[in-house]
Amino acid sequence: MAPALSPKSYSKLYINGQYVDAISKKTLTLLNPKDNTLVTESVPNAGAEDVDLAVSYAEDAFTGPWSTFTAAERSACFLRLVNILDDRLPDILYLDSLTTGNPISLIPTREKNYIKNCLLYYAGWTDKQRGDYFPADDGFVKLVRHEPLGVCAAINPYNSPVASLFIKAAPCLATGNVLIVKPSEKGPLGSLAVAPLFEEAGFPPGVLQVLSGDGRTGALLAEHMRIRKISFTGSVATGKKIQIAAAKSNLKRVTLELGGKSPAIVFDDANLENAVNWTVNGILARSGQVCVAASRVYVHEKIFQDFLEAYCKRMEAASHKLGNPQDDTTAYGPLVDQGAYERVRKMIEEAHSEAELVLGGAQHGTEGCFIPPTVFINPKPGAKIITDEVFGPVSVVQSFKYEEEVIGFANDTEYGLMAGVFTKDVSRALRVSAKIQSGVVGVNCVSQMNIQAPFGGSKASGIGREFGEYALRAFTEPKTVLIK
């Protein structure tokens, strides 16, 4: 697959239905993590004046023609967008592969289908924003309706920039809001490229805008007094800053989808092959750079050795599929940049004194930001490798003996995003899944999300939910009308 779009052509912001020169003269420099070669150094880094301009146009769009669209008209826009993306999406996603290291082999299936299904799902929700009616038994008829918030903002991660744009844009626009998107400074190209397709599909100018920029641009959005909602996906540390900025400004609504340290619990009656498949895939997806990565695997002592042997065999085999992300035969790419690479390498080096390394650990190849699948066992209590999010293809496998013991292991963290329970015992599956402190628990699966069901974390892994009807409620405000 050859590039059809030039990354150097995205040197403008997308505001009010057109590409415009940024008022800020700062730019972003983007490298390809496979070899650290220059991709572009002309992507704008939006400043305060750019943000203010986008907000003004967003306000005009919210109160303009977009506010008169019927539910059927909004659905029609979604469906036209699906058809437009069918041919154009692969080239757009290729752009992000150049700077994030996401393998293009994911585009035809995982990326494209994910985005398409998200749009089709929310296209069916535009005419189902039902409210409530309560009878006048006290002399008042009570009506409750769910109204759009207005100007919203999305701050997206680098591991799936375009997919994240649609995950947030679909429920936001389905409920009649408008959206300003700030993609990660590590992967802004695809988001800038996809933006004009919204107008092509019939959405009015200003309904969706894209501002490229770094963390300061995100801070400007979080603290802006005329933005009513912000949805952020990223680290816990940044999520805390966004929540503080939102509270200090105008108490804007906040959805935070943050980090994870997902446990997978494998009981002795589990289907061993199934457990190995899910846990390996759960740590290697996007080279471990996903919030739901199955980075902690707890295995019953009766099957620990058999599991570990099969698990390490699969992880080692995966290292041979690590390579050039722009080659469609590559399954796993590099980490996103040199900073991420150095951070993961440091965590691996520190873990040598806290756990036993049984696979990987060294640099893969002689150039680029490649980390091979890495496995530790027997961590010491409180070891950072089992308490802190790595965000790389690094896992810890540990044995357990009792059910209550492993539930304690699983919950001994401030994270609570994803977990997995592998067993043939339905009663045990339900019992353990109820006791695990996590927003999502898979039974005989892990690191899995579904557009129909709410996704989000407990504890420090986030606030609010994405996907399903729950995301729609996060983009609306209930209003009660009392009729005497």
What are 197-256's pLDDT values in tens digits?
999 999 999 999 999 999 999 999 999 999 999 999 999 999 999 999 999 999 999 999
220 and 334 part of one domain: no
Would residue 456 count as lying in a domain?
no
| Residue range 386-411, pLDDT digits in tens | 999 999 999 999 999 999 999 999 99
- The whole domain housing 194 covers 7-258+461-483
**In-domain check, residue 420:** yes
- Which of 257, 354, 389, 466 is the catalytic position? 257
Same domain, 389 and 349: yes
What is the structure's pLDDT at 361? 87
Position 1 in a domain: no
Residue 459 CA: distances (Å) to CA of 238, 330, 412, 437, 438: 15, 36, 11, 8, 8
Same domain, 374 and 230: no
Q: Which CATH number characterizes residue 314's domain?
A: 3.40.309.10
Q: Are 160 and 111 in contact, with CB atoms under 8 Å apart?
A: yes
Is residue 2 one of the residues assigned to a domain?
Answer: no
Q: CB atoms < 10 A from the CB of 37, how many?
A: 11
Q: Could you tell me if 229 and 307 lie in one domain?
A: no
CATH number of the domain bearing residue 479: 3.40.605.10
Q: 139's torsion region: left (phi>0), alpha (psi -120 to 50) or beta?
A: left
**Phi and psi angles of residue 65, each rounded to the nearest 5 degrees, phi first:** -55, -30
Provide the pLDDT for residue 19: 98
Segment 452-478 shows an average pLDDT of 95
Instruction: Indicate the helix (H) or strand (E) that contains 182.
Output: strand 178-182
**Nearby residues of 79 by Cβ (< 8 Å), 6 or more positions away:** 119, 120, 123
Residues 271 and 248 occupy one common structural domain: no
pLDDT tens-digit map of 60-108: 999 999 999 999 999 999 999 999 999 999 999 999 999 999 999 999 8
Biggest alpha carbon distance in the chain?
78
CA 359 → CA 139, 266, 320, distances in Å?
72, 20, 13
* CA quadruple 199, 202, 204, 206: dihedral sign: negative
More confident of the two residues 46 and 363: 46
**Rounded Cα distance, 317 and 294, in Å:** 18
Do 396 and 374 belong to one domain? yes
Here the tokens at position 305 are 């050795």
Under a CB-based contact definition with an 8 Å cutoff, are residues 349 and 394 in contact?
A: no
Domain co-membership, 426 together with 307: yes
Residue 328 belongs to a domain? yes
Give the predicted TM-score (pTM) of the model: 0.95
At 322-369, the pLDDT tens digits run: 999 999 999 999 999 999 999 999 999 999 999 999 999 877 778 999
Alpha-carbon distance of 77 to 266, in angstroms, equals 45
Same domain, 240 and 302: no
Residues 313 and 416 in one domain: yes
| Average of per-residue pLDDT across 276-298 | 96
Terminal Cα distance for the chain, rounded:
66
Residue 363 gets which letter from DSSP?
A: P
Record the tokens describing residue 373, joined without a space: 């699948």
Residue 382 lies inside a defined structural domain of this protein: yes
Rg of the chain's alpha carbons, rounded to an integer? Answer: 23
Residue 176 has pLDDT above 90, yes or no: yes
Assess whether 466 carries a catalytic annotation. no
Q: Tell me if 228 is assigned to some domain.
A: yes
How many C-beta atoms lie closer than 10 Å to residue 264's C-beta? 27
- Predicted confidence band at 431 (pLDDT cuts at 50, 70, 90)? very high
Domain co-membership, 292 together with 144? no
Residue 110 domain flag: yes
Domain count, the chain: 2
d(C-alpha 209, C-alpha 438), whole Å:
34
Q: Are residues 306 and 390 in the same domain?
A: yes
From residue 128, give the alpha-carbon distance in Å to each of 84, 124, 143, 152: 25, 8, 16, 21
The pLDDT mean for the chain works out to: 96
My answer on whether 123 and 46 are in the same domain is yes
385 touches 397 (CB < 8 A): no
Is pLDDT above 60 for 1? Answer: no
The predicted structure's pLDDT at residue 3: 66
Tokens of 54: 């986008």
Which residues, other chains included, contact 276 with Cβ-Cβ below 8 Å and sequence gap of 6+? 307, 310, 311, 314
pLDDT, tens digit (0-9, with 9 covering 90-100), for 106-165: 998 888 999 999 999 999 999 998 999 999 999 999 999 999 999 999 999 999 999 999
